[in-house]
Amino acid sequence: MFVSLVDLSFTRSLVADVYGKKGYHCYDPANMFCLEISRILDGYKYTKSLCRVLRDPQRGLHYWAYAGLIKEHIPSEDDFSNFRARCGEEKYREILQVLVDIAYSLGFLSRSLIASTDGTLFPTFSRFKGCDYFERECQRIQITGLLSRIKRRVNSYLNHPKEIVLGKEYQVRARCPSQFFPEEKKRPLINLFSFSFSRFDPNKEQDGTTRLLGIEERLKELGLMLLPLK
C-alpha cells in the first residue's frame, strides 16, 4: 500500500552522486529503499529475516512486485550492506528517516520507537525492544554519581573473584531518569557501562578506566584486566 501511494523514484536523484556511469550490475536505489521501508512497516527487526522471506517464492512474491525484483536477482544481506556503504551511513539514514516520516504522515506508523538492526532509532509505534517513549529530551540523560555507581559494581565483582566469568559481559544499569514517562509506566533500566574481565597480560597496558576507578593494583593482585565494552 505504501509504495502504491508514494513514488520512490526521487531516491535515485539523492544517491546519484555515489554511482558511476559504468560498472557491474547494481540494484536500483528506489527498489532497495522500497524493501527497507517495507521491512520497517512489516516489523522485520533484522534484514536477515526479510531476505529469508524474499527468497521464498510464495511469501516473497508481493515484495518482488512492490520493488520490481525478478527471481534471478534477489538481494542478499551483503547487497543491503553494500548499498548502505555506497550511500554512506549519514545519507542513508537521512533518506530512510524521510521515508519513515512519509509513512507516519500517511498514517502507516504512529509515534514512539523502532530500533533497526544497526541501532538506528525511528520515532514510530511498532515492534521493538527498548524505551516505550523515546523522546528528544532523552538525548542528554545525566546520571547522578555515575562513576561511583560503576566503581561499586566493579568492586562487588572483585570482592568475589571466584564468581567472575572471564569474557562475560557485565553491565551497570540504572532506572531511566526521564520525567516524561506516564505514571503507569515503569521506567526502564538503561545500560550505563558494559565491561568484561580477562586474564592479566603483562604485555598489555591496563585500560585508562581502571586508573579512573582506582582499581589498577587490585586487578593486578587478582591477575585480571578490565575491558570496557560500551
Please tell me whether residues 71 and 38 are part of one structural domain: yes
Per residue in 181-194, pLDDT tens? 667 777 777 788 88
Split at pLDDT 50, 70, 90, the class of 219 is confident
Same domain, 46 and 74: yes
C-alpha cell of 127? 515492534
Domain extent for 184: 146-228
120, pLDDT greater than 80? no
Domain co-membership, 110 together with 197: no
- Residue 38 DSSP SS3: helix
Query: Band of the pLDDT at 40, cuts 50, 70, 90?
Result: confident
> What pLDDT, on a 0 to 100 scale, did the predictor assign at position 128?
39
Compute and round to an integer the Cα radius of gyration of the chain: 23
Give the end of a domain, one of 129, 156, 183: 129
Cell digits for 3?
A: 509504495
Residue 138 lies in a domain: no
* Residue 12 counted as domain residue: yes
Claim to verify: residue 109 and residue 21 sit in the same structural domain: yes
| CA 118 vs CA 26, 46, 211: distances in Å | 22, 9, 32
List the grid coordinates of 21.
Answer: 556511469
State mean pLDDT over 113-117: 43
Both 13 and 87 in a single domain?
A: yes
The pLDDT score that the predictor gives to residue 30 is 86
User: What's the burial of 186, exposed, middle or buried (CB within 10 Å: 0-12/13-18/19+)?
Assistant: exposed
Task: Indicate the number of domains in the chain.
Answer: 2
**Residues 72 and 155 reside in one and the same domain:** no
Last residue of a domain, one of 96, 129, 162: 129
159 and 209 both lie in a single domain: yes
Length of the chain: 230
Are 74 and 47 within 8 A, CB to CB? Answer: no
Side-chain-facing half-sphere of 10: CA atoms under 13 Å: 7
Residue 157 falls inside a structural domain: yes
The verdict on pTM exceeding 0.75 is no
Task: For residues 33 and 80, state if they share a domain.
Answer: yes
E strand segments, 119-168: 121-122
Residues 41 and 91 in one domain: yes
CB-facing half-sphere around the CA of 82: CA atoms within 13 A: 10
Higher pLDDT, 150 or 121: 150
Same domain as 169, residue 111 = no
Please indicate, yes or no, whether residues 25 and 75 belong to a single structural domain of this protein: yes
Is there a single domain that holds both residue 21 and residue 125?
yes
Arithmetic mean of pLDDT over the chain: 77
Are the CB atoms for 138 and 131 separated by under 8 Å? yes
Q: Do β-strands 224-228 and 189-199 pair in parallel, antiparallel, or remain unpaired?
A: antiparallel
SS (H, E, C) 58-124: CCCHHHHHHHCCCCCCCCCHHHHHHHHHHHCHHHHHHHHHHHHHHHHHCCCCCCCEEECCCCCEECC
* Assigned domain for 198 exists: yes
Q: Which of 129, 158, 183 lies at the terminal end of a domain, its last residue?
A: 129
